[in-house]
Every structure is written in C-alpha cells, then in structure tokens.
Amino acid sequence: MSTEENKNSFEWVYYVLGLLTGMLAVIAVTTSLGWILLGGILGLIFAGLFLNKIVKGREY
C-alpha cells in the first residue's frame, strides 16, 4: 500500500464500530464483564469479515 492509501484508509472505523456495537448489544442483555468482552471480540470478528469479504476491492 502506498502512503496515500494509508492516509485515506478508514478501516479502523469499522473495527471500532464492530467492537462498540458488540459490547453494547451484550450490555443490553446482561451486565457480566466476561460476556461484554466476548461480545466485543465477536464484534471485531464480524468487522474483519465485513472488510475482507464484502467490501474488499470496492472502489469509492
């Protein structure tokens, strides 16, 4: 990747959104810290799948 692509890369936004929505979804159901962490991990996994399988190579 060139430096210009690194400047305009917003992939980190999807990972942060996946982490937060996974954690918030679990907080809505339960308040156990272990389940909240698991929800965050699952959110990161879904964000990675979304970026690498659905939007990979898409032109904007």
pLDDT in tens, 5-59: 555 677 888 899 999 999 999 999 998 999 999 999 999 999 999 888 887 766 6
pLDDT at position 21 is 94
Q: Are 43 and 19 in contact (CB under 8 A)?
A: yes
d(CA 60, CA 47): 19
Residue 23 is predicted with a pLDDT of: 93
- The answer to whether 21 and 44 have CB atoms below 8 angstroms apart is no
Name the token pair of 1. Answer: 């990747």
Whether 1 shows a pLDDT value over 60: the answer reads: no
**pLDDT (0 to 100) of residue 4:** 55
| Contacts for 14 with CB less than 8 Å, ≥ 6 apart | 47, 50, 51
